[in-house]
Amino acid sequence: MSTPTASPLGPGRLVGRRSGPLTGTVAVPGDKSISHRALMFGGIAVGETVIHGLLEGEDVHRTAAAMRAMGAEVARGADGVWRIAGRGVGALVEPADVLDLGNSGTSTRLLLGLIATNPITAFVTGDASLRRRPMARVTDPLTRIGAHFVTRSGGRLPLAVTGTDAPLPIEYRLPVASAQVKSAVLLAGINTPGTTTVIEPVPTRDHSELMLRHFGAELHVEALPDGASAIALTGQPELTGRVVNVPADPSSAAFPIVAAVLVPGSRVVFPGVGLNPRRVGLIETLVEMGADIRIENRRSEAGEPTGDLIVSASELRGVEVPASRAPAMIDEYLILGVAAACARGKTVMRGLSELRVKESDRLTALVQGLTACGATVSVDGDDVTVTGCAGAPAGGAAIATNLDHRIAMSFLVMGMVAREPVTIDDGQPIDTSFPGFIALMRGLGAAIDGPLA
């Protein structure tokens, strides 16, 4: 793969520079995956749902707006607490306008599942990045349940979805490991009589299952002889409004965590981070690499394991990351690549095919960005090998973020540890998932310059 050329710098450009020790306590925003689901389940529950710690990024605001458009009463109080008066299962109303979901693939795929078994028609679109992402992986099983879709070529947005008033329960085996596809089918199953079953060959994020139980649904998980799991949901339950305390997002925490590990002399505390076993692949990998990460005050919030992290600067060594770990850290490979570039020896990351269909082609971005910063990177199919420099990479690159917030944050962290500054062309997409990221990092001592800083 060729290295990227320097891209023109617009008003959202940011520059990460070599930083002194990072110290302090980080209030990481609420978990994005849980925030989306809390709004959706609250919107179809009976009674009031109260949400503390909801992520207030653009992606989640798009979900809130979509639920309002379909009849739920969704409001944020002056105290930062969100309250939802739900419609009840099967009672969504037809939106009067197009549902524009911005950059959020999670909002889109899960909402398609929700709409699929309500007898309404909705038109769905998103930004340029989202309109390139594949939707057939969810529209195919939802069509089997009875929904009807009209899409652009390749199953892409914009699309029209008409939900069915006579949904059929299905048993669906996931062709790829995807929590979004699993959740879309389960959401459709909520308003489907009988039992809807999803079979996943390898475990993926189980936030939907945990939250369905929290709201009162009947759901069973069975281990199958071939090692797969069958998740069976009994349809048409009466979901009841609940209190949801959203833990800090481990995917957002990944960026300051890696920065604290890599910048010499750093020690940073992260209170209340979500520690769902299917989300902590990055933490497990960093610990294997030699990172000093301690977990204290373990507890549970709405069924989700939570704890406080204490992260100190460490010298890392290369490891092999098995493909089986990909579902537990699919959003963290970009920032892991930055850590690998600073480690001693080779880090092999296997089974990264899913990175090609995220907000951008993150596999290509990972390879091109690290190479531009002076790292040695090779690709073999869906496996990536990074040979670390046991210290500070060269840096000095200009990175095109392609509207992808995780590319932006990852290479700002690279700039904080590299010998020469690293520039990103547009930091504005960061607010889709991590509002206040720049101010938070600068408060810890990071050197990040630019109009948004």
Q: So which residues are the catalytic ones?
A: 331
- Phi first, then psi, for residue 284 (nearest 5°) are -60, -40
Q: How far apart are CA 255 and CA 403, in angstroms?
A: 17
DSSP state of 122: E
- Look up residue 283 and give its amino acid: I
Q: Which own/partner pairs from 294-302 qualify as long-range (CB within 8 Å, at least 24 positions apart)? A: 301/245, 301/246, 301/247, 301/272, 302/34, 302/210, 302/211, 302/214, 302/242, 302/243, 302/244, 302/245
DSSP string, 170-235: -EEE-SS--HHHHHHHHHHHHTSSSEEEEEESS----HHHHHHHHHT--EEEEE-TTS-EEEEEES
- Helix 32-44 and helix 179-190: axis angle, to 10°? 10
Task: Pull the structure tokens for residue 64.
Answer: 């809130």
Q: What is the dihedral angle through the alpha carbons of 376, 377, 380, 383, rounded to the nearest 10 degrees? A: 130
Nearest residue to 281 via CA among 335, 212, 338: 335
- Helix 105-116 and helix 179-190: axis angle, to 10°? 30
Q: Which residues pair with 100 in a beta bridge?
A: 125
Q: Please tell me whether residue 117 adopts helix, strand or coil conformation.
A: coil
Please name the helix (run of DSSP H) or strand (run of DSSP E) that holds residue 262, with its range, or none: helix 250-262
- Look up residue 384 and give its amino acid: V
Residues in the chain: 453
Q: Please tell me whether residue 443 adopts helix, strand or coil conformation.
A: helix
Please name the helix (run of DSSP H) or strand (run of DSSP E) that holds residue 138, with its range, or none: helix 136-145
Largest CA distance in the chain: 62
Q: What angle do CA 25, 28, 29 make, to 5 degrees?
A: 150
User: Are the CB atoms for 147 and 135 separated by under 8 Å?
Assistant: no
The side-by-side arrangement of strands in the sheet containing 304-312 is 23-25, 267-274, 304-312, 292-301
